[in-house]
Structure 1
């Protein structure tokens, strides 16, 4: 596998979802639902009649049966059977159908009139905290994988439907199984997004598509504890420091050292969830010789101390 493929696998191994909740909606036209946004990411796939989605004040996009869409940042949006319909708030409707706290049980409901039907499968993922330059931060507000564009989409749509339907049975271990299956689905969705045209890529994804820059990124991801310098990273790419620095910034949108610092903090944030690790151990694992220097860097990145962040988790 070439460097960018290895990096995608390694990166997504780090960005495993913390948990996931599924939902299945039976929607009959006319219908329109408005979400104020959610913490985490949403993945949806529909069957039956096409529908429309609008992110914020953007123009609505038509979504066909079998298309897969992802809202990586959980942005506010409206989905509807046709553009321009008055929308009902999503959250109160969901609240009347959920059992227990959000995420404890799958959600199933029907809504709308007596017109053409749309069946919607939904997956809500809670992702690890991200900062500037991390994968989630660099993704667009909306990703649409069209069934007509790639044969893989049909398989992904079938996987999505099976995942949701299986979770509705709530077999033993269903919550963990759902989260891990969601991770696999996420790998394929982002892989398809990475293979889209260069104009549609941004930030980290553009860097991952360049085999030279991807080698440097892979080095950082595999060994965040190493004392990396621009010269060492450029050497790994077989480029001069000047060419490497300019290409990295052009593709990724930040300098190599800014990317290194951001990735180290993302790794540290994940490690802070483990109460068995000391601050010294975490600092060393991400390339800091002292916990004080690490704590200062973490606060610049996250706005809180490592101790406060760990307590919040």
Structure 2
């Protein structure tokens, strides 16, 4: 049951664009990468490095490990924790490099010590902010190369991605985006398989009774669910179900139902051929007005306005103004 729901959540992930880079860094070195509107991943060969995300302890990353920042948080990358970082943009400018969105960034910097070959990428997903899976992912995911949850396919996918993105053969951008989809999914699968604890609806999903209710809610969002009917699905009393759901998922059952319905509807709005009432009905709303009110509260805009923004490439998060340099 849990596997089926996770597969459904992962199946929705589609990269709109990807920016890649290869940094050859000789110790000592350190720089600050600004926050981006995308999911950033890192892997390195040669020397280890340290990554620091605000509010978290410095993390030592060994050669071959994978690091994923699902929300694109600002972070420091360094050869060692004590090295003073410089802004990444200053480092690039100092090397005389003019970043280009459609060309992988190649950078050589640092001192004369051990070399770390860092391969990086930023994957842009328009719907990441509203994806129910993204909402419960931590700021930093570290997948160790020797983790039992990591199969040889992960390293193979990574190497295919690196070769495709750095060679810049015709069609490389599309190929890299598709490989990034696969790589991202595999990283998440490894994380979910090895993580000791989860948060939000993932934690609820692991609970036999609450997970049963979430499974039905996600499978049939159009049903006229109530707290009572969800509690019955879980085989619990209404009060016990509500308390347990909030404890695990950190939101009310109806709050989670509404958020999931809106997420499903946001994907359906991409199809200009579907009528609004059809979409509203498919997620449990009998009238357009009720659906429009709920959708506006969730997204901050009316459904039609949201649909236009999703079809307009200039509204994508990686359009003008998005930081360059993976």
User: What's 2:318 paired with?
Assistant: none
**Structure 1 contact 131–266 (Cα < 8 Å) conserved:** no
The verdict on how the C-alpha distance between 1:49 and 1:158 changes in structure 2, with shifts beyond 3 A counting, is farther
For normalisation by structure 1, the TM-score amounts to: 0.88
Q: Distance in 1 between matches of 2:183 and 2:129?
A: 23
User: What's 1:215 paired with?
Assistant: 212
User: What's 2:46 paired with?
Assistant: 48
CA-CA distance at 1:74 after TM superposition:
0.5
User: What's 2:224 paired with?
Assistant: 227
User: What's 1:126 paired with?
Assistant: 124
The verdict on how the C-alpha distance between 1:20 and 1:306 changes in structure 2, with shifts beyond 3 A counting, is same
Q: Distance in 1 between matches of 2:144 and 2:238?
A: 40
User: What's 1:98 paired with?
Assistant: 99
Higher mean C-alpha displacement, 244-253 vs 150-159 = 150-159
For normalisation by structure 2, the TM-score amounts to: 0.85
The verdict on how the C-alpha distance between 1:94 and 1:178 changes in structure 2, with shifts beyond 3 A counting, is farther
Q: Distance in 1 between matches of 2:213 and 2:17?
A: 31
CA-CA distance at 1:257 after TM superposition:
0.9
User: What's 2:299 paired with?
Assistant: 302
**Structure 1 contact 67–157 (Cα < 8 Å) conserved:** no
CA-CA distance at 1:7 after TM superposition:
0.6
Q: Distance in 2 between matches of 1:185 and 1:210?
A: 28
Q: Distance in 2 between matches of 1:176 and 1:235?
A: 47
**Structure 2 contact 149–190 (Cα < 8 Å) conserved:** no
SS of the equivalent of 1:84 reads coil
**Structure 1 contact 130–266 (Cα < 8 Å) conserved:** no
Q: Distance in 2 between matches of 1:32 and 1:293?
A: 52
User: What's 1:185 paired with?
Assistant: 183
**Structure 1 contact 22–107 (Cα < 8 Å) conserved:** yes
CA-CA distance at 1:264 after TM superposition:
1.2
State the aligned residue count.
Answer: 307
User: What's 1:60 paired with?
Assistant: 58
CA-CA distance at 1:160 after TM superposition:
1.6
2:284 corresponds to 1:287? yes
SS of the equivalent of 1:195 reads helix
CA-CA distance at 1:191 after TM superposition:
2.2
SS of the equivalent of 2:223 reads coil
Structure 1: gaps (5+ residues): none
Q: Distance in 1 between matches of 2:89 and 2:265?
A: 33
CA-CA distance at 1:229 after TM superposition:
2.2
The verdict on how the C-alpha distance between 1:132 and 1:211 changes in structure 2, with shifts beyond 3 A counting, is farther
The verdict on how the C-alpha distance between 1:288 and 1:206 changes in structure 2, with shifts beyond 3 A counting, is same
2:161 corresponds to 1:160? no
CA-CA distance at 1:128 after TM superposition:
3.5
**Structure 1 contact 272–310 (Cα < 8 Å) conserved:** yes
Of 243, 261, 266, which aligns to 2:263?
Answer: 266
**Structure 1 contact 33–78 (Cα < 8 Å) conserved:** yes
The verdict on how the C-alpha distance between 1:121 and 1:149 changes in structure 2, with shifts beyond 3 A counting, is same
Structure 2: gaps (5+ residues): 311-326
The verdict on how the C-alpha distance between 1:231 and 1:186 changes in structure 2, with shifts beyond 3 A counting, is farther
**Structure 2 contact 32–75 (Cα < 8 Å) conserved:** yes
Q: Distance in 1 between matches of 2:291 and 2:91?
A: 44
CA-CA distance at 1:154 after TM superposition:
5.6
CA-CA distance at 1:62 after TM superposition:
0.8
